[in-house]
Chain A
Amino acid sequence: MTLPILPTAIVGSYAMPGWLERLKTDYFARRISRHDLDEIYDAAVKAAIKDQETAGLDVITDGELRRDNMVDYFAERLPGVQIDRTSKKFYYDFYDSAVMSKLPMASMGLVQDFTFLNTFTDRVPKFCVTGPHCLTKRIRNQFYPSEEAFATDIARVMNMELKRIRNQFYPSEEAFATDIARVMNMELKALVKAGATFIQIDEPYYSGFPEDLAWGVNVINTLVDGVNARIAIHICYGNRYGKPSWEGSYRYLFPTILKAKVQQLTLEFARRGGEDLDLFKEFNAPFELGLGVIDVKNTDIETPDMVAQHIRKALEVIPAEKIHILTDCGCFHLPRDVTFAKMKAMVEGTKIVRKELGR
C-alpha cells in the first residue's frame, strides 16, 4: 500500500467518549462483565476507525480505546509484572505494579488488537506501543511526584533504596528497560508477521528524564532489532489528563537520538511552535519527521490554513518526502466532535500544501 506525499494520521489515541469512560469505570466497579466490555470495545474501535477514514486520514490507528492509559494496557500484559487490581477506582488511574523477578519471554497478546484494526480498515494501519523507558518509569514508581520524594519516603519507612522497591530484581532501570525491550521485541516481530508495516513507539518520559536518553536509545535499538517495519518513535512533553508534564526544548535529544535505529521521529510542534525544527537541519537528522500540526491540549479547532502554515515551515528544513502530518499527541482527552473537526482541518490543510507542491 503506497502512501501519498505528506501522509496524515493521528499519533495514536482517538477521543475517549464519556460513555466509554463510564463503562470502563463500571467494569472496575463490577457492574458489567469483561465479555460485555470487550464487545463495547469492538464497537468503539470500529467507530474510531470509521471516523478517521471519513476525515480522510491516510494512516489509521485503532484509537487505543481498549487501553485505560498508556501504561496499564502493557503492564497487564507484560509477563512477570505483578498488578494490584484493587489499586485504582477510576479507570484512568495507574495500577500499582511491581516486578519481582526476571521477566520471562512470553507473548503479550497485542497481535489480536492489530488484527482487529487490520480487518476493519483498508488503509495503512499503524500500531502504537508504549516504549520500555516509559514503562520502566511507571512500573517502578507509581505514586510519588519525584524519585527523590519516593526514595525519601521509602527510605524513611523501610530503610531501603528506591531502586530496590518496585523493581525487586533488576540492578538498574536500564537493565529492567532492556529486558522489557527484549520481551516486546518478540511481540513486535509477531505484529509484523501478522501484517503490521508501521509501528510507533511512545516515549514521552524522555522529556522529563533527559539524563536517561543515552540508555533509552540503546533500549529502543534492542526493541526494534530485526523488526522489519517502518518504526516511528513519538517523543512529546506528556499528555496525561490532556496537559503537558514538562516544558523545554527538543535540543536535549540531539545528537544522542541520531543513534536510534528508527525511521521516523514524531514530535509536537503545534502547541510549542516550530523553533526546534531547525534541529533537524543543524544535526542533519536522517529521520522522517512526524510533524505535529494539531494541538491536542486545546479544544480550539485549527483552520486548514494554520495547518498549511505549519507544514510550509517544516518544508524549509525537511523535504516533503520525509514528512508525515500528525496531531501533536494522542486525542484521548479531546471531545469526539472536536477531534473529528481537527482531523478534517489537518487533512484539508495538507491538501493545500500538496496542491502547492503539485502533488
Chain B
Amino acid sequence: MILKLNHLKVKAAAATQGVIEAVYALVGEGLIDQGQFARLQVELDWIQYKSNFREAVTATQGYNAMGQPCPIMDIHVDTRQVVPETLRTDLLRAIHRAQAGAEADACRLPLEEFQSLRSSIVWTFNRFFWRHLLAWEAATGKGYDKALPGGSSDGHNPLAIADDVAEFLDLLCDLRSRNQLPPEVNLLEVGVGNGSRCAQWLDQFQLLDQQRGTGLYSRVCFYMGDYSEDTLNKARLTVTKHIDQCRFVQVDAINPIKSLAQLRHKILQVHLTNVYDNLPDEEVVRRDGKLYFVQVRAYVPQTAVNSIGGKYGIPPELFRDRVYHMLETGFDSFGGPTHGVPFWQELWAAMRLEERLVQLEDLPEFPFPEGLDAGRLEDILQDAPTDFRFHLSSGALESFIRTLPLLHPRGYMQVFDIFVTDMAQYRTGFFGPGKLDGSLLNWVNGALLKEVAQREGYNVNFRPFKYRANTHTSILYTTRRE
C-alpha cells in the first residue's frame, strides 16, 4: 500500500495514524484482500474548500480500457471532514461502493451516468448559477464578490490596475517611438462582471495619459466581453463616462476568437480575472506508468433526497426529474424563486461526485482539448511526477489557445486566477473541484498551459499577485516568443 499525504497542513497529519490502523484492521479481518492491499493507494487530503463534492472518505476503482475492474484503487480521506469514530465504517463503505461500480446504490440517487467531469451535470448547475445569479444573491442577501476569498475581485485592486496602466502606456510609447503604434489601441477583457475593472482602468489610463501628455486616450478601444447580454448591459452603465472608448461584445469565454475574428493579431492587451477557474475541466491520473481518465457521476445522498424532497413536497421517485426540470425551465414549478432558490441551494449543498478511473489505452484517440494531443501530453509528462493526478483544464486551455491569436505581436495577455504553476505541485495539495456559492471552482493547470503555449509560440510566466496578502491568486502573463 502507498500512503500519500497530499497537503502541507500539520493538523491533517493527526489523522494519518488512525487511517493506517483502520486499513490494517480491515486487512486483518479479510475485508480487504492481500492483492488489493498491495495495489492500494491511500491519499490524505486537506480539502481547501469547505463546500465540495466529496464525502469524508471516498474510494475510486480502476478499470481497464475494456471496462473491466483492475486492481488499481485510490482511497481519499478528507482530513478536514473525517471523524475518527466513523473512519473504519466510512472506509469499508467507500470500498464496497467503489467495487459495486455503476450498480444501483440505495443510499444514493445518481443524477447521471459516469462520464467526464467536463460533461457532467455539475457544469449545468454552474451555468444555471450565472443565469440566475440575481435570484441567488437576493436569497443570500450578499453579492457574489463577497464569496471570494478577499471579499472582492482581485481584478479590481487599484494598485494592480495602476501598475498595469503604467506598463501599458510604456508599451504604447515604445511602439510609437518605432512608428509601429496602430491607429486603434485595442484591449479586451473577457468576463467583465459589472464593468467595474474596465471603468477603473479607463479612469487611471485617462489620468496618466493627461499627466504624461501622451494623448493616447482617444485611440483606446476597450472591448468588454461577456457571454451574457444582461451582464454587458449592466456593465455599460458602469462605464458611461468612457462610453466612446468602449465596445460591448458577447463572447464565449471558451472561444473568444469566434466573435472577435476581425481583431486577430490586433489586441494589445487581454485581461481575465477568475474566469479560467470556472470553466469546464477534467482530470487524468498517472499511475504505474499508465494514464487513467477520471470519470465522475453526480449524485444526491438518499438522506438528502428524503429531507429536501419532504420539505418541498417532491416524492423520491420524482426527485431527479424535478432537478432536471428546474435546470431547464427555472423556478416555475416551485411557484417562483422564493421557494425555488432555497431548494436549489439545499440541493447544490448536498450534491456529491463519485469517481472511477478508466485506463487510457489508445491515447491518440482521446478527445483532447484543442492545443493538446497525445504527443504533446507525453512530452509534458516527461518531467512530471510519475504518480499523480492532474487537471487537463480543458476549458481554460481551449479558451487560452483561442485567445492568443488575437494578440498583437507586441501585445500581452494577463490572467488573474488560481494556478498550479508546476506539475509537482499536484503532490502537495488538493486543487478542486470545489464549490463557491452556487458555482464550481477548479485550480487551473498553469504548468500545462505554459507548455502548450510555448509550442504555439508564446512565453508564459507566473507572477505572484503582490497586491493582497495571503492570496492564492497569481498572474499568468503571456507574450510572443521567438
Contacts and interface: CB of A to CB of B under 8 A. Distances in A.
Interface stretch (A74-82, A237-245, A261-269): A237-245
B203 to A, nearest CB: 29
Contact of B457 (A18, A243, A247): A243
Interface in B432-462: 454-458
Nearest to A148: B174
A247 B182 contact: yes
B336 interface: no
Interface residues of B, number: 20
A241 B182 CA distance: 22
B180 A243 contact: no
Contacts of B264: 297-298
B457 A90 contact: no
Contacts of B456: 241
B247 interface: no
B176 interface: no
A97 to B, nearest CB: 14
Contact of A247 (B180, B455, B479): B180
A206 interface: no
A245 B264 CA distance: 13
Interface in A220-255: 237-238, 240-248, 252
Contact of A22 (B179, B265, B375, B454): B375
A94 interface: yes
B180 A145 contact: no
Contact of B482 (A22, A145, A298): A145
Interface in B376-400: 379
B265 A247 contact: yes
B340 interface: no
Interface in B339-373: 373
Contacts of B373: 18
B101 interface: no
Interface size class of chain A, counting residues whose CB lies under 8 Å from the partner chain: 20 to 34
B47 to A, nearest CB: 36
Contacts of B409: 237-238, 243-247
Given A238-B409, A248-B179, A298-B264, A243 B455 contact: no
Interface string B115-127: 0000000000000
B405 interface: yes
B482 A247 contact: no
A246 B180 contact: yes
Contacts of B455: 90
Interface string B408-435: 1100000000000000000000000000
Contacts of B405: 243
Contacts of B454: 90
B404 to A, nearest CB: 9
A242 B479 contact: no
B480 interface: yes
A240 B180 contact: no
Contacts of A142: 482
A32 to B, nearest CB: 15
Interface string B167-183: 00000000000011010
B482 A244 contact: no
A150 to B, nearest CB: 11
Contact of A248 (B180, B457, B458, B480): B180
B457 A241 contact: yes
19 contacts: A18-B375, A90-B455, A94-B482, A145-B479, A145-B482, A210-B179, A237-B409, A238-B409, A240-B482, A241-B457, A241-B458, A241-B481, A243-B265, A244-B265, A245-B480, A245-B482, A247-B180, A247-B409, A297-B265
A243 B480 contact: yes
Contacts of B375: 18, 22
Top 9 closest A-B pairs, CB basis?
A241-B457, A245-B409, A244-B409, A22-B375, A248-B180, A244-B265, A246-B409, A243-B457, A240-B457
Contact of A242 (B179, B457, B481, B482): B457
Interface centre among B405, B409, B481, B482, by most A CB within 10 Å?
A: B482
Contacts of B408: 247
A243 B481 CA distance: 10
A210 B182 CA distance: 17
B249 to A, nearest CB: 20
Contacts of B482: 94, 142-143, 145, 240, 245
Q: Identify which of A240, A241, A244 gathers the most chain B CB atoms within 10 Å of its CB.
A: A241
A275 to B, nearest CB: 13
A241 B407 CA distance: 13
A237 B375 CA distance: 30
B110 to A, nearest CB: 39
Interface in A5-35: 18, 22, 25
A244 B265 CA distance: 8
Contacts of A245: 409, 480, 482
Nearest to B457: A241
Contacts of A18: 373, 375
A242 B409 CA distance: 11
